Structure 1
């Protein structure tokens, strides 16, 4: 039962039990799955950059933003396990809070860049080529980071910590919200969510129109592209939609502790939904690619080959090396190389579709 009251400093004290029951398992899941997934995503982005693909710039920046957020999760977990009592200094609280909130808008910014890059690649492959270069992607990325750093600095200057009725140090939360937060929340909704979502919807609708009219694209590839596009839009809405809608509701109606208490659990659950974006990004933008799957298969085969070679060498050390065994052992790499060459030749002979899932 949520029981709000007002302290002597006119700060609401609300039951934060959701932070001890729901938040820890979700944050632990996101951290365990998101950290290795984003590390692989960063490697995939590096391969894209190495191949002179501007999409790799956006993927690397998106992944870096997610990793910054993931690294702050252990501190938030300790905060929740201590019943919302921040034991570190105030500056670290502000930094962790900025990483938590600004990761949303850095991610949204680069998701828009990826969607627009895909739109231009599929719908206008030659007309706007100057916007699809490594140099252009770097410039856009710098603008996004500067913008969000400035917004983070604004929050850093205005936010502070407070005490509840049990003398716990509350980090990065105020109930009811302050006057400057009302205006800032409107900006976050329109510029940080609604406008990017409109761009996302516009770009993917354009892609679907081209894919539907393409006669050279295989039916299976069309289905894959449609699933990728629809899943991207759905995940964007699920991860960011509820949080931003509740931001507007809080800005419109949160003037008392009573309303803050009523909306507290729903609002913080919507905030938890945004963390799933760190898991969804690598799956949607990296591991859904056919080339990524092939790279992972090659990585797995290389590991298995190394393991077999290690076992073979260990076994040979315990045996007498006769001329016959030496001949057999020397023939293994030749057979393996022959098999790999045949597979590579077969892959090169495969026909490519007009619109490939890797282009998306």
Structure 2
């Protein structure tokens, strides 16, 4: 079933509950496909109207989930066939390629969203002046290239077709010793580069983002709760969906643990949980609104979000305070973050 699956002659069908696999696949497909298609339409409209870096990142995250959901029915057929591959042979590597690609690139885009949010709060003025959609586009291209290159291992390591009495085969279930010499180091690289690094950066960004927001007295409690919701939803996704399977790369370095296939099922749920990230991210676009009064010591918190001409840090304090008071008094929001 998977690129990093059970070695030896053990058959996966004897190690996993087929009804459980089908239940997770069907649940993910039925809940994830409509919500991700809706999110794709929403972010596509927003990008066309007014492009912001975070919308570009979230649009790419949605695309990665849709790729997984498109190929998920093939995994359903595999599970319904007792974990035997009854489909055309070329669909085996193609399905697994997009399956793993979606899982790992999601962790990178979730990390990028956390960095965008953190920089906008921790360094409001500098980040506002240097925040350009082109950077998000370049970042997205790099993420896709890196992930696609890593997941190309699906094609580099040729799977062995094991013919059964029903003339069926097992897709990426058993590996030869030669194949394992390539796969084992790749497991560790996936664990470090595509999980540990994004997870560590995401934790740092959201912990500090929440800490900064809690320290600001003029931020409404509801907006603080949305920021906390974004952090919790993202970290929950990492811990529940990504951590178990990636840990099995280390725990089962020489021999895959028996719970590995169940850990992979949790990774599939990522496509159904990502819409929660989309919700908190879109609702969280005005994290730091102007509030009356706008005292000068906190003006820098609003400055990077003020609509209109780029603010000049050299404006004298009285004039700066007055400009914020006028903006807030007219009910003008601070723009999108």
Normalising by structure 2, what TM-score? 0.77
Please state if 1:275 is matched with 2:277.
no
RMSD: 2.7
Q: CA deviation at 1:16?
A: 3.7
Please state if 1:105 is matched with 2:104.
yes
Q: CA deviation at 1:287?
A: 5.8
Please state if 1:151 is matched with 2:153.
no
The partner residue of 2:277 within 266, 277, 284 is 284
1:74-113 pair list within 5 angstroms? 74-113=73-112
Contact kept, 8 Å, 1:228 with 1:284, in 2: the verdict is yes
The partner residue of 1:232 within 231, 234, 257 is 234
1:47-126 pair list within 5 angstroms? 47-49=45-47, 50-126=49-125
Judged with a 3 Å threshold, the aligned counterparts in structure 2 of structure 1 residues 77 and 16 are, in CA distance, closer, same or farther, namely farther
CA distance in 2, matches of 1:79, 1:202: 39
Q: CA deviation at 1:17?
A: 5.7
Contact kept, 8 Å, 2:12 with 2:173, in 1: the verdict is no
Corresponding residue number in structure 1 for 2:33: 35
Judged with a 3 Å threshold, the aligned counterparts in structure 2 of structure 1 residues 12 and 288 are, in CA distance, closer, same or farther, namely same
Contact kept, 8 Å, 2:227 with 2:284, in 1: the verdict is no
Judged with a 3 Å threshold, the aligned counterparts in structure 2 of structure 1 residues 141 and 14 are, in CA distance, closer, same or farther, namely closer
Q: CA deviation at 1:154?
A: 2.9
1:1-360 pair list within 5 angstroms? 11-16=9-14, 18=16, 20-49=18-47, 50-129=49-128, 132-163=131-162, 166=165, 168-174=168-174, 178-251=180-253, 253-254=254-255, 260=256, 263-264=257-258, 266-286=259-279, 289-290=282-283, 359=337
Aligned length: 285
SS in 1 for 2:172: coil
CA distance in 2, matches of 1:207, 1:47: 28
Which of these two proteins has the greater Rg computed from alpha carbons?
Answer: 1
Deviates more, 1:173-182 or 1:226-235: 173-182
Q: CA deviation at 1:47?
A: 3.3
Structure 2: gaps (5+ residues) = 1-5, 286-328
Judged with a 3 Å threshold, the aligned counterparts in structure 2 of structure 1 residues 47 and 122 are, in CA distance, closer, same or farther, namely farther
Structure 1: gaps (5+ residues) = 1-5, 255-259, 293-347
